[in-house]
Amino acid sequence: MTWADGLVGRRVLCVGTDLADVAEIRGVLTRQPSFRTKAFTEAERAYCDIPKDPAERYAVRFAAKEAVLKALGTGLAGAPLTDIEVRRAPEGKPSLHLAGRAAALAEAAGVRTWLISLTHTAAQAHAMVAGLGDET
């Protein structure tokens, strides 16, 4: 059985995407050091701060958080960004964990599982998410 086998028969309830400018995020990280704790969980910060220039990692996670909130129809004002955590499996596969207000919004929308795809270059970071419901 593969991870995709669990997707058969599931309805896509919502989709969100976002593109973040890495230089812009780098600038925010420099000008507003508190942005790290306001927007990212402790685990995300630990992962993002490993390389000398963490801007790409922060930018793609910011894009993922905004994509989730777009998928839920709220935009950035919908929930604290720290309610959405981008996790990384040892082999590199990303996943999402929602808590607090973000989890409540997803529950109200019927979202049971999230699919996430991340990519970034030195200039741009892109995230795409899809919220799946129960089996039909």
Question: pLDDT at position 134, please?
Answer: 87
Residue by residue, pLDDT tens for the chain (136 residues) are 555 556 666 799 999 999 999 999 999 999 999 999 999 999 999 999 999 999 999 999 999 999 999 999 998 899 999 999 999 999 999 999 999 999 999 999 999 999 999 999 999 999 999 999 987 6
Question: pLDDT at position 71, please?
Answer: 97
Beta bridge partners of 117: 128
Q: CA-based angle 43:133:94, to the nearest 5?
A: 25
3-state secondary structure 53-86: CCHHHHHHHHHHHHHHHHHCCCHHHHCCHHHEEE
Q: What is the pTM of this model?
A: 0.92
Element of type H or E holding 24 = helix 22-31
- Over the range 73-103, which residues count as b (16 or more CB within 10 Å of their CB) and which as e? eeeeebbebbbbbbeeeeeeebebebeeebe
Whether 86 contacts 119, CB under 8 Å: no
Tell me the C-alpha to C-alpha distance, in Å, between residue 74 and each of 12, 16, 65, 68, 69.
18, 11, 12, 9, 6
Question: pLDDT at position 133, please?
Answer: 94
Sign of CA dihedral 31, 40, 84, 17: positive
Say how far apart CA 16 and CA 72 lie, in whole Å: 8
Question: pLDDT at position 135, please?
Answer: 74
Q: What would the two tokens of residue 129 be? A: 């998410």
